């Protein structure tokens, strides 16, 4: 019996420089593929982290990430900056971050 291929998962975060980053999009399967395609089309860096996506996908849309995830999400933001990416409209002093895929 073949092992089923897991559905793709994606979560998009945004940080406006105030408070903690917020979940702006999340989904599995076709929705995740659409989130990823939109990020790629707009040059938003993607980072694969199955464990982080699993936890973030349990948050509500527009919910700030909990304090326990600050370090993990800070690593995603640093990753995005290292690649030179920042979503359109994000202030230069406030790093934005794009989708994390799983």
- Split at pLDDT 50, 70, 90, the class of 86 is low
CATH number of the domain to which 15 belongs:
3.40.1690.10
The CA angle 54-55-57, to the nearest 5 degrees, is: 65
What is the domain range of residue 88? 9-101
Buried b (16+ CB within 10 A) or exposed e, 1-10: eeeeeeebbb
In a domain, 4, yes or no: no
In a domain, 56, yes or no: yes
- Residue 33 CA to residue 84 CA, distance in Å, equals 23
> For residues 16 and 26, is the Cβ–Cβ distance under 8 A?
no
Query: Which has more pLDDT, 5 or 77?
Result: 77
In a domain, 61, yes or no: yes
In a domain, 37, yes or no: yes
In a domain, 1, yes or no: no
Tell me: pLDDT of 78 over 90.
no
In a domain, 74, yes or no: yes
pLDDT digits (tens, 9 = 90+) for 15-70: 888 889 999 999 999 999 999 999 889 888 888 888 999 999 999 999 999 999 99
pLDDT of residue 5: 66
Q: Sheet harboring 100-101: ordered strands across?
A: 22-28, 9-14, 100-101, 47-48
Domains identified in the chain, total number: 1
């Amino acid at each position: 019996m073949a092992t089923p291929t897991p559905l793709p998962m994606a979560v998009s975060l945004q940080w406006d420089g105030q408070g903690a980053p917020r979940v702006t999009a999340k989904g599995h399967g076709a929705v995740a593929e659409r989130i990823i395609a939109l990020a790629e089309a707009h040059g938003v860096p993607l980072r694969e982290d199955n464990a982080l996506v699993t936890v973030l996908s349990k948050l509500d849309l527009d919910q700030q990430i909990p304090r326990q995830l600050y370090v993990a999400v800070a690593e995603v933001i640093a990753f995005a900056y290292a690649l030179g990416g920042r979503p359109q409209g994000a202030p230069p002093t406030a790093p934005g971050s794009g989708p994390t895929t799983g």
